[in-house]
Amino acid sequence: MNANHNQPQRIITSYRDAPARTLTAGGVTYAYRELGPTGGIPVIFLVHLAATLDNWDPRVIDPIAKGHHVIAFDNRGVGASTGTVPDTIEAMADDAYTFISALGYDTVDILSFSLGGMIAQALVLKHSELVRKLILTGTGPAGGKGIDKVAGTTYYDMVRATLARSDPKEFLFFNRDDTGKAAARAFVKRLDERTDDRDAKISIKAFQTQLKAIKRWGRSTPADLSRITGPTLIANGDHDRMVPSVLSHDMHRRIAGSELVIYPNSGHGGIFQYHDEFSNTAIAFLDGDR
């Protein structure tokens, strides 16, 4: 018999140490990680294009996990999750709903970035009762001008990064001035802090299917964002080349009562360049009484 069976479990608040878990639902085995104190409303993290569990910035997750139950997962066909990536954002949102429901939650908060923010919007529009508070960062609405150019920008920056022998995210997420370059290097370095039990890389086919879904989202009929009525926080850098910053202003105008934060001299990864400010803002928003 284990003598420590009455000892409270140590709460993990470092994403680097969060155990890799799996959950099977709807014929798909989802890979996920959770950390922080359980019992409250969990914060579900929805990640960006081409990303796996290893792409979340620990300087964003860790401060939030000090006081919140955080769950990050790989959507269908991504990283260590099984199945094939859907070619529409709406189907990705259906998978997110399946995963959240299988965990047993009927109320969650959402923190999303880029592609994840598109999935979050589709999820809230279909299941408004599920999401209490919504954080949309580096993202844009269905039919948003310029979203269908994401593939071109992505491939262009991947070539530039290859020639510079650096991570494509350094080009895609950050400005190429001295401030941006330093922030980019620091961000990429932080993503390597977890050394054990890392996630499977995304496949080329999965990445291409995600790009197809984003292009379709950009060319689709605009959704009625006035139907998003819960507290919403929108954040971006002021110079987002992937999902134009003007789209953050557009969502802010269309979602009543939403809050908008635009970080100066920063790009698509503004929340990672300003990780301290953003995590403080996100915590205040999640803990606010709205």
CA distances from 214 to 30, 103, 189, 224, 249 (A): 22, 27, 28, 18, 19
Q: Is the pLDDT of residue 157 over 80?
A: yes
Structure confidence at residue 289 (pLDDT): 87
What pLDDT digit, counting tens, does each position of 79-133 carry? 999 999 999 999 999 999 999 999 999 999 999 999 999 999 999 999 999 999 9
Q: Is the pLDDT of residue 8 over 70?
A: no
Structure confidence at residue 220 (pLDDT): 97
Q: Extract the tokens encoding 166.
A: 């650096």
Structural domain includes residue 10: no
- Calculate mean pLDDT across residues 211-215: 97
Q: How confident is the model at residue 9 (pLDDT cuts 50, 70, 90)?
A: confident
As a whole number of angstroms, the distance between CA 183 and CA 278 comes to 14
- Calculate mean pLDDT across residues 193-222: 97
Average pLDDT, the chain: 96
- Calculate mean pLDDT across residues 258-283: 98
* Count: domains in the chain: 1
- Calculate mean pLDDT across residues 188-196: 97
- Calculate mean pLDDT across residues 218-231: 97
Amino acid (1-letter code) at residue 110? I
Structural domain includes residue 5: no
Pairing of strands 131-137, 232-237: parallel
For residues 164 and 4, the model is more confident at 164
Structural domain includes residue 172: yes
Provide the CATH number for the domain around residue 110: 3.40.50.1820
Torsion angle, CA of 273/174/55/17, rounded to 10 degrees? -30
As a whole number of angstroms, the distance between CA 57 and CA 127 comes to 28
Structural domain includes residue 6: no
As a whole number of angstroms, the distance between CA 125 and CA 180 comes to 35
- Calculate mean pLDDT across residues 140-145: 98
What is residue 108's three-state secondary structure?
strand
Structural domain includes residue 165: yes
Structural domain includes residue 184: yes
Structure confidence at residue 180 (pLDDT): 98
Instruction: Give the residue numbers spanning the domain of 42.
Output: 18-287
| Sequence-ordered list of residues with C-beta below 8 angstroms from that of 289, at least 6 positions apart, any chain | none
Q: Extract the tokens encoding 126.
A: 């279909």
Structural domain includes residue 206: yes
- Calculate mean pLDDT across residues 18-22: 97
- Percent over 90 (pLDDT), the chain: 96
- Calculate mean pLDDT across residues 186-204: 97
Q: Is the pLDDT of residue 2 over 60?
A: no
Structural domain includes residue 246: yes
